[in-house]
Amino acid sequence: MDNLSLLMGGFGSVLTPENLMYCAIGVLLGTFVGVLPGIGPAMAVALLLPVTYGLDPVAAFIMFAGIYYGGMYGGSTTAILLNTPGESASVMTALEGNLMARAGRAAQALATAAIGSFIAGTIGTLLVVFFAPALASVAVEIGAPSYFALMVLAMVSVTSVLGGSPLRGFIALFIGLTIGLVGLDLNTGQPRLSFDQPLLADRIDVVVVAVGIFALGEALWVAAHLRRSPVRVIPVGRPWMSRADLKRSWGPWLRGTAYGFPFGAVPAGGAEIPTFMSYITEKRIAARKGQDEFGRGAIEGVAGPEAANNASAAGTFVPLLALGLPVTATSAVMLAAFQGYGIEPGPSLMTDQPDLVWALLASLLIGNVLLLVLNLPLAPVWAKLLRIPRPQLYAGILFFATLGAYATNLQAFDLFLLLLLGLLGLLMRRFALPVLPLILGVILGPLMELKLREAMAISGGEVDALWSEPLAVVIYAIVLIAIVAPLVLRRIRPAPAAVAVEEGLAEDATPDATGDLEEEEKVR
Amino acid sequence: MRPLTRHGTSRGAARAVAVVAALSATLLLATGCGVTRGPQSSDLTMLIPNSPGGGYDQTGRAAIAVMENDDITGGSFEVTNVIGAGGSVAMTRLMNAEGDDRTMMTAGLGVVGSLYSFGAPYKLDDATPLAQLIEDQEGVLVPPDSPFETIEDLVEAWQADPGSIVVGGGSSPGGPDHLFPMQLASAVDIDARNVRYVPYDGGGPLTSALLGSKIDVGFSGVGEFTGQLASGELRLLAVSGEERLKGEGISQAPTLTESGIDLVFTNWRGVLAPPGISDERRAELIGMLEEMHETPEWRQALEDNGWIDEFKTGDEFTAFLQEQDERVATTLEELDLL
């Protein structure tokens, strides 16, 4: 427990009233900038980094930690309240989170996100403290074949969110996969589906797709029905989480952390896959328990992905500190920041500059605590934002969504793209096509292609390279079990209970588009 | 805000909305939405063909910082990052600004390749070339447990069986990290089409592929790997420029020419102006860049970033651009990528 005493030493150098004040300012600034649509954590940290210049290293660290956690949490806030995720990692949070918000449970969604982030961030940072060097050397051994196997597993899982009509689900999935193809082919440098439009060459940003389909499509759909439906004010919920909410959130928080951390710790993991896997897992568990609220705003669907997102973010410190490898946009910004503070990440970091590293890790833990302390009371305040009457609320969402899409690249073309995608979102709602498979197609398709082609390029086209890594074989075994087990179970044990679960799965998998439809029809 | 108060929404929510709105406004201003300026102003615009923090951005902004600090242009600069298609979008904007003698653009080798990939109807020398500012060397990198101790070992194994060596780089085809191994292969009589090149999304993923020995050798800008080279996590077999570089784990690496390979390959960056500006104005802009080049601040910027001082202007730069364009075209043609 040598590391523990070193960490305590870190706390000793960090914990002063003055430093806590810097941290609190960092958390608030981070949250407010992160809340702006189109600004993900990477952008928030980059924008606010100059604020920490001129402070002594320890004060700069702790303020930075505050900005970092604040920025991440701010991104989830917009995803939940306005259905406009600021980065691909919070797309899953937006799904159930926004449904909760529209059912008057925004405060609970924000609270479970904040506590989940806290728990995942704390566990993740502690794992970094104790295992970073050991994990890093294992992590680089994982290559393209294993990542590809993971993508196959994720794709197979997509089938469980296709919705009541598999045909509609597959249509949506393939539209998503097609959108994911647009742009420059990384291996040959040739443009695909870009219609000679250079602005389409850099692929269509997942965030633009999510904001277009979720926020814009929804706003247009509501606008199209505004005159025909009575004014429906979002009910005012309780301001705090109930005991039942807490009970339902515990499991997802811990499972989300377990998904997120390993993905963050490996160099090409990212947060998309673990947030998605966490969402699927929680949905299945809820269905099995027979209390599936998914599609109507399930708190598990916010707690799990949010925890996975934050645990993955904490995990990225493993390659960052131990190898000097930035694996996400946010960690690339952080690497630059650390170098500015005089930390040179790499294998010798832990032995060369232990004081700075332990002060940094202690700062991250303190930043996490302050985030919770400052943001939990704010949750009901944010939630009141939704009490704005519908026309004004949706006008505001349109405004912020447009602003966000423009602010990322300052290209008018992105606005055109956003409107086009919004129209697609409206049409999908009109024809009851589920939107979730589309978004997953956009996220998973390119990742899957990238890893397959990397594996193929390395092996020189030898297909058996795909199962050349032990981890890949294990994952394929899991895929096989996931496909075969339900079929076998149904055949050997056609007990009514098992059938009921299967049907329950299919029906409860009602995607939110059809959910919206039903909701709107009820209103009518 | 009126509907808010009318419906009696709490002041907390109203305040939150106000803060968000105010912050968004600040953000838009900060990212630069065009500034009106009078006809007499000496303010200039600099187009940067990639995102903030990237290579072109660093070079462009360093040059601007020096020029503003020493009041060389008599005005200030507005920097616009025009992101897209590896610089083709920025290049299109520059070509469309024909005759605008208050705009410049930072460009480099990567933009040359992108213009081909996207079938752009123009080349860099169709604009008004002003000056090359810097040069960056590429390196040949291997993991520490690699069987290749020297560049000769690598070339020998590569010539014996081109398909046995998997090379990686941090750029897509047409980019510097792709062109370098292809030109190296050609220089040692290996058919470039037999080179097994795996593109990675920048230096981070390339490093992890090297550390995990997923690929045999990596080709990328040396500057990005100073930390890994100093700590011995990666080994540098050779550098691509005319002279050796300084630094721990770097200075012992020979140049290719020292090792008997007839190839000098550098990634360079420079500044262009739109087409159709007057010769007097062109000379004036070049003069500003020359003055910038002579300052101690620029020396410092070169040193801080590990850039090599390779400055050429006017017709010499134009000729260099034409030669570079030809080399890129030849390489891509050999690979059937054109």
Those of residues 122-181 in B touching chain A at CB distance below 8 A are 163, 166, 172-175, 178
Comparing A131-145, A437-451, B58-72, B122-136, which segment has the lowest mean pLDDT? A131-145
| Confidence (pLDDT) at A239 | 67
Does residue A416 surpass a pLDDT of 80? yes
Q: How far is the alpha carbon of B21 from chain A, nearest alpha carbon, in Å?
A: 9
> Hey, is the C-beta of A385 within 8 angstroms of any chain B C-beta?
yes
Does residue A262 surpass a pLDDT of 70? yes
Q: How many domains does chain A have?
A: 1
Residues of A in contact with B28 (CB under 8 A): 403, 407
| Confidence (pLDDT) at A158 | 80
Is A508 or B92 the better-scoring residue by pLDDT? Answer: B92
A139, A186, A403: residue with CB nearest B172: A186
Instruction: Show the domains of chain B with their CATH numbers.
Output: 44-135+268-334 (3.40.190.150), 137-239 (3.40.190.10)
Query: Closest residue of A to B23, CA-based?
Result: A33
| CA dihedral sign of residues B129, B132, B136, B138 | positive
Where residue A408 falls among pLDDT bands split at 50, 70, 90? low
| Confidence (pLDDT) at A238 | 67
Q: A150-169 pLDDT, tens per residue?
A: 888 888 888 777 777 888 88
Q: Report CB contact under 8 Å: A409, B84.
A: yes
Q: Report CB contact under 8 Å: A403, B24.
A: yes
| Confidence (pLDDT) at A420 | 94
Is B36 or A380 the better-scoring residue by pLDDT? Answer: A380
Average pLDDT, chain A: 80
Q: Report CB contact under 8 Å: B84, A32.
A: no
Q: A229-248 pLDDT, tens per residue?
A: 665 556 666 667 788 888 88
SS3 B132: strand
> Hey, is the C-beta of B65 within 8 angstroms of any chain A C-beta?
no
Residues A455, A443: Cα–Cα separation, whole Å: 19
Q: A73-130 pLDDT, tens per residue?
A: 888 888 888 887 877 788 889 889 988 988 888 888 999 998 998 899 899 988 887 7
Give per-10-residue mean pLDDT for chain B (338 aa): 35 42 45 45 83 76 86 81 78 86 90 82 88 91 93 94 90 86 92 88 81 90 81 90 87 92 90 90 90 90 82 90 90 80
> Hey, is the C-beta of B20 within 8 angstroms of any chain A C-beta?
yes
> Hey, is the C-beta of B121 within 8 angstroms of any chain A C-beta?
no
Q: E strands of A3-99, at which residues?
A: none
Q: Report CB contact under 8 Å: B204, A327.
A: yes
Does residue A140 surpass a pLDDT of 70? yes
CB A238 within 8 A of CB A288: no
- Say what the ipTM of the complex is: 0.70
| Confidence (pLDDT) at A35 | 78
Where residue A194 falls among pLDDT bands split at 50, 70, 90? confident
Interchain CB contacts (distance < 8 Å): A and B: 156
Q: How far is the alpha carbon of A430 from chain B, nearest alpha carbon, in Å?
A: 30
Whole-Å CA distances, B88 to A164, A413, B74, B111: 45, 15, 30, 7
| Confidence (pLDDT) at A353 | 74
Residues of B in contact with A186 (CB under 8 A): 172, 199, 201
Is B295 or A187 the better-scoring residue by pLDDT? Answer: B295
Q: Report CB contact under 8 Å: B24, A409.
A: no
> Hey, is the C-beta of B336 within 8 angstroms of any chain A C-beta?
no
State mean pLDDT over A470-480. 89
Q: E strands of B109-205, at which residues?
A: 128-142, 166-169, 196-199
Where residue A286 falls among pLDDT bands split at 50, 70, 90? confident
Among A198, A217, A195, A219, CA closest to A208: A217
Among A337, A372, A365, A366, CA closest to A129: A365
Q: Report CB contact under 8 Å: A36, B196.
A: no
Does residue A415 surpass a pLDDT of 70? yes
Q: Report CB contact under 8 Å: A460, B196.
A: yes
* Residue A44: both structure tokens together: 């928030």
Residues of B in contact with A142 (CB under 8 A): 212
Q: Report CB contact under 8 Å: A267, B215.
A: no
Residue A241 sits in which domain range? 2-523
Spacing of C-alpha A171 from chain mean position:
24
Residues of A in contact with B83 (CB under 8 A): 202, 409, 411
